[in-house]
Amino acid sequence: MGRALLTENILIPGIRDFDVYRAHGGYVSAEKALKEMTAADVCREVTKSGLRGRGGAGFPTGLKWSFLDRKTERPRYLVCNADESEPGTFKDRYLMEHLPHLLIEGLIISSFALGVRSCYIYVRGEFKYIIGILKRAIDEAYQHNFLGNNILGTGLSLDIFLHPGAGAYICGEETALLESLEGKRGNPRIKPPFPAFKGLYDCPTVVNNVETLAAVVPIIGMGGDAYAAIGVGKSTGTKLISACGNINKPGVYEIDFGLPVEDFIYSEQYCGGIRDGKMLKAVVPGGSSVPVLPAGLMLNTVKGEQRLMTYESMAEGGFETGTMLGSGGFIVFDEDACMVRNTWNFTCFYRHESCGQCSPCREGTAWMEPILKRIELGEGKSKEIDLLVSIAAKIEGNTICPFGDAAAWPVASAIRHFRDEFEFHIDHPEIVKNIEHGSIYKYPVSSIQHPASLR
């Protein structure tokens, strides 16, 4: 088990350099696509591969590409979403840091398939050193005529532009990203129109995640059918999972879809079990935005089947007893972790990162945060648990972009599965105030402050 389609060569010294990357089979897929295939062939292979967006929503990439408005005379754009800022997710960073040429190769093939002449990589602003790495790799690709005019004598041209973000999580939402790229305030747009018709500068645009675009390279290399043969059902191929929290071996792992969650957490090949021999308490398996699940439901679905690392199995049980694979940010909590404190922590993040455009999200996130803080500090009231549930329910589904849902789900799911812990905080303030909160929270409570409360 454990095929490495993306990360096979990641540990080779110097793989960041064009020559080393090339010597290890790099840019072979790009050559194959450009010289031996038509754009329609490439799209067909991607559709056949069953590749689904790795940015979080899991939308089929082939289908997304097919929506692109090809009738207009206006230019088309491909935008790579490298704004990775979801708490718990750090897979794109790993890929770009070590294999910048893999992303560039994916961009070349995808641009060819979509008829794109200019593409943009929107990189999270905090990834300053990665911008340098990408810049160098892009320059190398230009030097070797994999970018620029008349690529490899095929008559095709492509330019890649790097755009650093300015530190907003919301600019990872695709339409906010486009606004930001145009130099405006990063507010998500109201859809429709969708980017496939009116995206960047009102032109047809495809936005894809770093890992999605990188996966196009092995798909062209091995063929869509061979890629689709890996995995289970509609979850095909491999996925990068960034594992963190109270585990022995945090890191980025490439897994085949269909791996049982239990194996992922406990096998030596992956997370290596819970740190210090403790017990598993809960997992947030797809980045902070997806519902948290307690250990029992994480390892087995409510039907008693083993839960697998696939989009479908994660969602088994709906919001009552299931969760989502999301972006693959796998956060593990041991028996000592405090779910109230974690929920508060997440909510601080969402309060801070909301764009503030629509009323339910702007007001709701800022309302939940101080309530959770009070409960965590042993100053909560019992009716406030139901109030939190009610606020979360009123944000969910009523907002412009999915951020509202992402802010509501962690709160709703934590209370659904760990209500006793919230109640304990309220009933036993003295104990709560002196509690040791497990190893992931070493800093004292008072040092966390929301910027808005500092004004």
Partner 1 sequence: MRVTIDDITVDVEEGTTILTAARKIGGKIVPPAMCWYSKLKGSGGKCRTCLVKVAQSSAKDPRPMPKLVASCSTPVQDGMVVQNITSPEVLEARKAIVEFLLINHPLDCPVCDQAGECDLQDLSFLHGMVETRSEEPRREFPAIDIGDKIKLNMNRCILCYRCVFTADQITGKRVHGVLYRGDAPEISTYIQNVIDNDFSGNVIDVCPVGALTDRTFRFKSRVWFLNAMDAHRDCTHCGGKVTAWMYGNEIYRITGRKDKYGEVEEFICNECRFEKKNFSDWIIEGPRKISRESVISANHYEKLIKPSIIHPIEGTTEKQE
Binding mask 28-57 for ligand FMN (x = CB under 6 A): -------------------------xxxxx
- The count of other CB atoms within 10 Å of the CB of residue 408 is 30
Query: Is 452 a residue that touches partner 1 (CB under 8 A)?
Result: yes
Distances (CA, A) of 194 to 179, 189, 408, 436, 453: 13, 9, 24, 48, 36
**Residues 159-188 contacting partner 1, CB under 8 A:** 168, 170, 185
Query: Is 355 a residue that touches partner 1 (CB under 8 A)?
Result: yes
Query: Is 318 a residue that touches partner 1 (CB under 8 A)?
Result: no
Nearer to ligand FMN, 224 or 294 (CB): 224
Binding mask 327-356 for ligand SF4 (x = CB under 6 A): ---------------------------xxx
Min dist. Cβ of residue 350 to ligand FMN (A): 9
One of 93, 98, 124, 351 touching partner 1 (CB under 8 A): 351
Query: Is 85 a residue that touches ligand FMN (CB under 6 A)?
Result: yes
Query: Is 354 a residue that touches partner 1 (CB under 8 A)?
Result: yes
One of 62, 218, 287, 404 touching ligand SF4 (CB under 6 A): 404
Contact set with partner 1 (CB under 8 A) = 168, 170, 185, 190, 192, 351-360, 362-367, 370-371, 387, 390, 394, 397-400, 451-452, 455
Binding residues (CB under 6 A) for ligand SF4: these are: 170, 188, 354-358, 361-362, 399-401, 403-404
The residues that touch ligand FMN, with contacts defined as CB under 6 A, are: 53-57, 59, 64, 81, 83-86, 170, 172-174, 207-209, 212, 401-403, 406
